Amino acid sequence: MPLRQTRRTPATRGERFAVLDPATGEAFDEAPDQRPDELDAVVDQAHAAWRSWRADPAARATALLAAADAVEAAGADLAPLLTREQGKPLAESYAEIARTAARLRYFAEPAPGPRPITDGRPVRSEIRWRPLGPVAAIVPWNFPLQLASAKFAPALAAGNTVVLKPSPCTPLATRLLASVVSTALPQDVLTVVTGREPLGARLASHPGIRHVTFTGSIPTGRAVARGAAASLARVTLELGGNDAAILLEDVEVERIADRLFWAAFRNCGQVCMAVKRVYAPARLYSQVVEALAQRAKTVAVGPGLDPDSRLGPVNNAPQLARVERCTAGALADGARAAAGGHRLDRPGYFFAPTILADVPPDSPVVTEEQFGPVLPVLPYRSLDEAVERANDTGFGLGGSVWGTDLDRAEAVADRLECGTAWINHHAELSLAQPFAGIKESGVGVAGGPWGLYGNLRPFVVHRPDEA
């Protein structure tokens, strides 16, 4: 079926570009299409605003708390707009806004104070944590608000100013969020820029930026790292994943099937740490495939603004094409669609929730990140084989192990090569935990105190210990 909308990014009209509703494939609004050369003034202003913003940690904490309150109060405006441009069900938009406010509250603490260095030498030396300067935050379209706040909340708390660039697929809710948050901030402390490439590339390589914090795909992450090499700015990269879920012999399939299904299909599978491959013991294989397929066939798919929808559309046409290509490739390789396997014949970017069985292990839907509502289920014969196949990838974001004997499950989880491993669930993150993909899934550590220190630099003062 030909795609109704095949543009990589929305079309420009003058200095604005169209924003599309993925539930219809039609434009419903537009956003400023800023040119890369506009960034010089934006970064200069962010630098000027930094001078006073960095000076008063207590005022920053107060401002972030007020910003969190303002975000919550604006939920009824933000949520429908987020759903309209992103596609997710309205309830998920409200949940994303709640997490955005929670992130601001979590980081609303004064930055760490001086810390003495004690090494027995007759020197009184101490570390004084200092902010870095203007931070560039570049985020994707799957959780535009939550991922933006995961960057700007710690950066602002640490005393930096932020220039935030959302995806051209989701500029509007981000612009509204920034205007809401900015009611609690001095001018130019948080600025949003929107536009098509090379706006992001220019921001990542801008000489006035001291930290580039990026979330997105691995190829773009490499480009960002290359760009930031020009100014040698600090780089934090949160990149793609291909998380495996290993089911153990003692798993109770019906007991975990709902949780496993939603760990793969929430936000239409467009989650960096969604379950993207399931490994099931050969004895339970048919039962697992059936349990997941039954849920995929019956889940309510529709526009996110329809209160009955549990799954919305894929966010954009190129992403839909990628999901379609991965699925068609697997079917051509001999896989069987136990549920779905095709686009839905309706306007917008809808794809039928798909469970793939009998998939060759080297099929792209297994080896690459499908990032959509498609889940391959693979059988294994020995646990060593399952762990080896789960780890046999360049990705290293998350993974999970599912079973009844929790000690045994934890011993298997301990063997996973990734940043976070879960037992009997997947992708649940605490605000207080470090978040760090390994291998090609990331560089640097976000989340918790590590996220704050990622936006600070140590400044050490040595003073002789003499009268």
Would you tell me which residues interact with ligand NAD (CB under 6 A)?
138-142, 147, 165-168, 197, 200-201, 204, 215-217, 220, 223-224, 238-241, 272, 369, 371, 397, 437, 442
**Least CB distance to ligand NAD at residue 41 (A):** 19
Closest CB to ligand NAD among residues 21, 238: 238
Residue with tokens 């975990």: 256
370-405 per-residue burial string, b: 16 or more CB within 10 A, e: under 16: bbbbbbbbbbbeebeebbebbbebebbbbbbbbbee
Q: Which residues pair with 93 in a beta bridge?
A: none
**Least CB distance to ligand NAD at residue 200 (A):** 2
Closest CB to ligand NAD among residues 134, 240: 240
Closest CB to ligand NAD among residues 83, 315: 315
Determine the residue with CB nearest ligand NAD.
Answer: 200
Q: Which residues pair with 162 in a beta bridge?
A: 135, 190
Closest CB to ligand NAD among residues 159, 240: 240
User: From the CA atom positions of the chain, what is the Rg in Å?
Assistant: 23
**Least CB distance to ligand NAD at residue 140 (A):** 3
Known catalytic membership, residue 290: no
The DSSP 8-state label assigned to residue 142 in this structure reads S
Distance of alpha carbon 264 from alpha carbon 278, whole angstroms: 9
**Least CB distance to ligand NAD at residue 84 (A):** 18
DSSP H or E segment with residue 449:
helix 448-453
Nearest to 30 by CA among 85, 96, 90: 85
Query: In a 10 Å sphere around its CB, with 0-12 CB exposed, 13-18 middle and 19+ buried, how is residue 329 labelled?
Result: middle
Q: Which residues pair with 9 in a beta bridge?
A: none
The pair of three-digit structure tokens given for residue 206, joined into one six-digit string: 């801008």
**Least CB distance to ligand NAD at residue 185 (A):** 22
DSSP H or E segment with residue 327:
helix 317-332
Closest CB to ligand NAD among residues 289, 365: 365
Active-site choice (85, 96, 238, 369): 238
Closest CB to ligand NAD among residues 379, 447: 447
Instruction: Output the DSSP codes for 384-418.
Output: HHHHHHHH-SS--SEEEEE-S-HHHHHHHHTT--S
**Least CB distance to ligand NAD at residue 244 (A):** 15
292-310 per-residue burial string, b: 16 or more CB within 10 A, e: under 16: bbebbeebebbbbbeeebb
Residue 157 CA to its chain's centroid (Å): 20
Which residues are tagged catalytic?
A: 238
